[in-house]
Structure 1
Amino acid sequence: MDLVPLRSVPGAGLLPAPDQVVAAASNVAQKVLYGGIADLRPMPRTLIDDGTLREVYHYRPAGHVKEQGDPILLVTPLAAPSSCYDLRRGCSLVEHFVTEGRPTYLVEYGEVSFRDRNLGMEHWIDEVVPTAIREVSAHAGGRPVHVIGWSLGGIFSLLTLADERSGDLPVASLTVVGSPIDITQVPLLAPFRPLLNFFNGKGPITKGYQVLGGAPKPLVKWAFQLTAFQKMVTKPIALATHIDDREFLAQIEAVDHFTANMIAYPGRTFGQLYHRFAKGNQLATGTFELDDRTIDLSRIDVPVLVFAGSTDGIAPVGAVRAVVPMLTKAQEVRFEIVPGGHLGMLTGRAARRTTWLVMDEWISQWSTDNRPASPIGTSRKRKHSSAASRSLAK
């Protein structure tokens, strides 16, 4: 039986119900005796390919389910640990896919050090993501891959599929989760944009990442926490009022663990992101200048699913939605607004009945057995989806 928290019981006053007292005592005891409530065991996986800041893993199939169908590749954003997709047992996108019998893979980058300071975005767009896609397809018997990228992982995936140098990658569909395209629509950055442009590339931020060789872990962690400053301030009160809610406490623990394991940015990549995204807002034009070429998002011809979080402060709805009209050659474009902030929309408790279910539907729709007969990597006539304006936010 679900426990009814004190805060929702009419006329309960200040006295908790007996079952709430028992639940709260049990939660406190487990926290004290065992160090936590959340089951943070990562899903078992096997390394199938590696290179410079590139590790590709295959998650082992669940013992009671036969693995079948097209593979899924989860693209990790820079600076974030891969636990974004595998937050905790019972609230893990990886666990969800594996228990459904879907072949599930992930690419992550390992620890970034000072020696990696000269690696730029082209390393991920030219090398890491394309290689991961090809390796996953080969490991899955040559099947096309459903690519899912969260945050910067989604931007890297978009740029990879739009880049002429990537060639014909074996991609069945692309899902982009919480990836900001138009930075002018991010309120968090609005007060700082005039200041960033004032320094014209010679300010303290530029000098800082050049000296440090990138953005160090503590700074990345602080920046992520700053986006949820209000939640940080009210966290003690929330914990006290939800002390009997095991799921709530477990989720808080898992997010804390995720945040504590942030990874540094390589210097050159951080510089490109800072100057071209935060200051230049290049992607809002639909194109991106990289080395000696221009990457045009309109070249993407695979089906694209785009998610925005209804309360996302890092990638607000407008900043994410901006990519939709740019995908003029995609076979289908579907846009969904789902509950949650930047991480919550991907792996929050509500994501289990919103984001994940839409992903399941999308992957099934564009799996090898169900997709229209047309070769991967060639231009297709775009099908305008009636789902483009659909919203799951409550």
Structure 2
Amino acid sequence: MDLLGAAANVRDRAVAGHLADLRRMPREVIDSSPSATLYRYLPLEGSHPSSDPGRLPVLLVPPLGAPDFAYDLRRGCSLVEHLLTAGRDVYLVDYGNISFAERGLGIEFWVENVVPRAVHRVSEYRGGAPVHLVGWCLGGIFSLLSAADRANLPAHTVTAIASPFDVSAVPLVAPLRPLAAITGGRLVSSAYQALGSIPAPMVKWAFQLSTVDKYLTKPLTVLSRLDDRDVLEQIEAVDYLMSHMHGYPGRTFGQIYHLMLRSNDLADGGLDLGGRRIALAEVRVPVLVVAGENDVIAPLRAVRRGAQLLTGSPEVRFESAPGGHLGVLTGRRARGTTWTCLDGFLDTHDKSA
């Protein structure tokens, strides 16, 4: 260990109270509704992406539960910062905190309303340009279902990162499926119906449970890597994200539980939402699917199933990269793996617009 480096990190943490630069990339509101806010990130100095018609805009679609700044975790390890540095025009739709009053909202609300509205607004803002959608976890599923549901959606490509399509391949969920089948899902249904929503602390606890080994060994990791500022900054940034998790509407959680966990409908090709079936085979745009090699929430087989179901897409790329559920999106190694794959995919399809 570099003792001087470790001492400097301890000193800086003691003086400033933190090591990671958690300032968010500057952004402006371009559309707002009671259900979501659409942001445009301000271009970096000297960069004017909207003046280059060859570079299509990118819309980031977050999942429920995680804060929108998962895409902008910290300076030096921010997907937003990376895309802006590459000269891209970057947008994000933010759902905000989910309140008890929104307990009746289902998956179809985001698939039929929130995501399509954001895509159309970005396209209009850019003079009718088609839009690259990039979604993490449930955000990737929202994006694909929206593209499948609306043939006129101005989506040019969709990227789904760490999106689980086959929950039978998820180790944490698989043991629960037989129990759910025996009880008919009544135990869990009673719980979320009584609560009305899944509170943020429960979402945080579930996320931590999936990486319990890392949380138990975190103190040892910090002590052994005191001289590695990048590691310490990442741990600090992830802790901050975990302390800002959001809740789930009760109805959405119920759909995830009954349609995806119990029945595993998505692995069969689609979901029944709002009285009709939305099939992934109806996606007609190129798709990039990325799986984390160490992801226990959305393991490789669960994510790869999505790529197999996109039979109507003109191109489906499947890639794997090191990292867990969050790490594959914005871990330290994602800078040279996931982000590189994304860059190549977007660059290729910019040219085909």
Q: Describe the superposition over 1:308-341 as per-residue Cα deviations: whole angstroms up to 9, x where unpaired.
A: 0100000000000001221111111100011110
Match of 2:211 in 1: 228
C-alpha distance in structure 1 between counterparts of 2:96 and 2:14, whole Å: 32
1:130 aligned partner, one-letter code: P
2:56–2:131 contact (8 Å) kept in structure 1: yes
1:259 aligns with 2:242: yes
Match of 1:46 in 2: 28
1:244 aligned partner, one-letter code: D
Any unmatched runs of 5+ in structure 1? 1-5, 7-19, 373-394
* Aligned residues with identical type, % of pairs: 50
SS at match of 2:313: coil
Match among 320, 324, 337 for residue 320 of structure 2: 337
C-alpha distance in structure 2 between counterparts of 1:108 and 1:265, whole Å: 14
SS at match of 1:320: helix
1:338 aligned partner, one-letter code: A
1:87 aligns with 2:73: yes
1:182 aligns with 2:166: yes
C-alpha distance in structure 2 between counterparts of 1:188 and 1:202, whole Å: 19
C-alpha distance in structure 1 between counterparts of 2:48 and 2:289, whole Å: 29
Deviation at 1:145, TM superposition (A): 0.2
1:187 aligned partner, one-letter code: P
Match of 1:379 in 2: none
Match of 1:149 in 2: 135
Deviation at 1:134, TM superposition (A): 0.3
C-alpha distance in structure 2 between counterparts of 1:257 and 1:53, whole Å: 24
Q: Describe the superposition over 1:71-118 as per-residue Cα deviations: whole angstroms up to 9, x where unpaired.
A: 000001001101110000000000011111100000110111111011
* Structure 1 runs of 4+ with >3 Å offset: none
Match of 1:31 in 2: 13
1:103–1:140 contact (8 Å) kept in structure 2: no
C-alpha distance in structure 2 between counterparts of 1:304 and 1:99, whole Å: 23
Any unmatched runs of 5+ in structure 2? none
1:249 aligned partner, one-letter code: L
How many residues align structurally? 349
Match among 322, 328, 340 for residue 357 of structure 1: 340
1:312 aligns with 2:298: no
Match among 36, 41, 47 for residue 65 of structure 1: 47
2:105–2:251 contact (8 Å) kept in structure 1: yes
C-alpha distance in structure 2 between counterparts of 1:354 and 1:239, whole Å: 24
Higher helix share: 2
2:3 aligned partner, one-letter code: V
Match of 1:172 in 2: 156
SS at match of 2:289: strand
Match among 311, 315, 323 for residue 306 of structure 2: 323
C-alpha distance in structure 2 between counterparts of 1:232 and 1:197, whole Å: 32
C-alpha distance in structure 2 between counterparts of 1:198 and 1:224, whole Å: 26
1:210 aligns with 2:198: no
Q: Describe the superposition over 1:154-209 as per-residue Cα deviations: whole angstroms up to 9, x where unpaired.
A: 0111111111xx34111111101000001111111122222222221321x22221
1:93–1:347 contact (8 Å) kept in structure 2: yes
Using the size of structure 1 for normalisation, the TM-score is: 0.87
In our comparison, the structure showing a higher alpha carbon Rg is: 1
2:165–2:267 contact (8 Å) kept in structure 1: yes
Match among 90, 94, 107 for residue 104 of structure 1: 90
C-alpha distance in structure 1 between counterparts of 2:217 and 2:139, whole Å: 30
SS at match of 2:165: coil
Match among 346, 371, 375 for residue 352 of structure 2: 371
Match of 1:387 in 2: none
C-alpha distance in structure 1 between counterparts of 2:317 and 2:75, whole Å: 29
